[in-house]
Amino acid sequence: MQEDQDTTIKGRREFLAKGIAAGALSLMATSCMSHDKMHHKTGEKVKLLSPEGEIVEVDSGDLQPIPDEMYAISENIREGVPNRKFVMVIDLARCKNLRKCHDACEKIHFLPPDKNWLKVLKMQNSEDSAPYWQPTNCFHCDRPPCVKVCPVNATYKRTDGIVFIDTERCIGCRFCMVACPYGARSFNWEDPEIPEDMYKQHHHSMESIIPRKGTVSKCDFCPDMARNGELPHCVSACPNGTYYFGDENEDAVSNGSETVRLSELLRDRGGYRYMEDLGLEPRVYYLPPVNRLFPFKDDEFSKNYKTR
């Protein structure tokens, strides 16, 4: 009896899991081409959480990856995530030029080595002051000069603060690149050769700037992550917690290990914005490189390309 009940439960669970998978499939409407695969048993069992909150075990052959179309946001991509104002704070005292952020960015966005959406720059304010490392990405300015000059509205400002690029509309005039005084943008001088199926992957969903030949691309603040309440890849890649990312409306930013009040952080640590006097109102703040965690070491710097 006990045994019977177990099989019944198991059978019911299997049915349920299949139902979820089938439901997911039917949601993506007509594409039933992989239907046959669903019944191909592998014998390998996978534990899953059912919608009722129960742990279920299903054959891995029954699993279907949720296609990206499912993920594609229903809201207009040009609008941005409602009620959010994304903001970043970079603590210069914590950066030792490990460049994990850069590598994560490069990997996740399939950037060739010479395309830097994120740069770690050696800065020195004056001859007698100490040099320090400054991670620099797109500042997502509130008064973006790049957006101002775009002739076709291919680059635009979203309500959540992100400056985005529609690379299917961009005509490649590069006016935005000369208008950006921070050099945040980079051009795809040749075909970026991103594998076709990569475009369909999670992080290359519609809500990510997809590099295309003859168009401009740049740091996009990883809105696909931000929409789900997750941190951009550069933030989570930094082992020293240099980056804080969050929402100005919530007044909270997080570097992955601690979540702090944005206003307190900026007030107590002397937060500032790069070249404030240009009046572009960047959404990236810096905390000055005081009481540093690491001494400045230059040797790793000239690893990739010759420095100036």
Binding site for other proteins (CB under 8 A): 114, 116, 119, 121-123, 136, 145, 148-154, 169-175, 177-179, 181-183, 185-191, 213-216, 275, 278, 301-302, 304-308
Name the minimum Å distance from CB 179 to other proteins: 5
Nearest residue (CB) to other proteins, 65 versus 181: 181
CA distance 227 to 90: 21
Is there a contact between 255 and 244 (Cβ–Cβ < 8 Å)? Answer: yes
Can you tell me which residue has the tokens 């740069």? 119
CB closer to other proteins, 190 vs 258: 190
Q: Which C-beta is closer to other proteins: that of 15 or that of 189?
A: 189
Q: Of 228 and 305, which CB lies nearer to other proteins in the complex structure?
A: 305
Q: Nearest approach, Cβ of 304 to other proteins (angstroms)?
A: 6
Task: Name the DSSP letter for residue 215.
Answer: S
Torsion of CA 203, 209, 211, 212, to 10 degrees: 120
CB of 154 to other proteins, least distance (A): 8
Shortest distance (Å) from residue 195 CB to other proteins:
18
Shortest separation between residue 252's beta carbon and other proteins, angstroms: 29
Q: Which residue spans within the chain are E strands per DSSP?
A: 45-49, 55-59, 86-91, 119-123, 132-136, 155-157, 163-165, 186-187, 216-217, 243-247, 252-254, 259-261, 284-287
| Cβ 113 to other proteins shortest distance, Å | 9
CB nearer to other proteins: give 112 or 256. 112
Nearer to other proteins, 45 or 297 (CB): 297
CA dihedral 31, 34, 36, 39 (to 10 degrees): -110
CB atoms within 10 A of CB 235: 25
Measured distance CA(178)–CA(46) in Å, rounded? 52
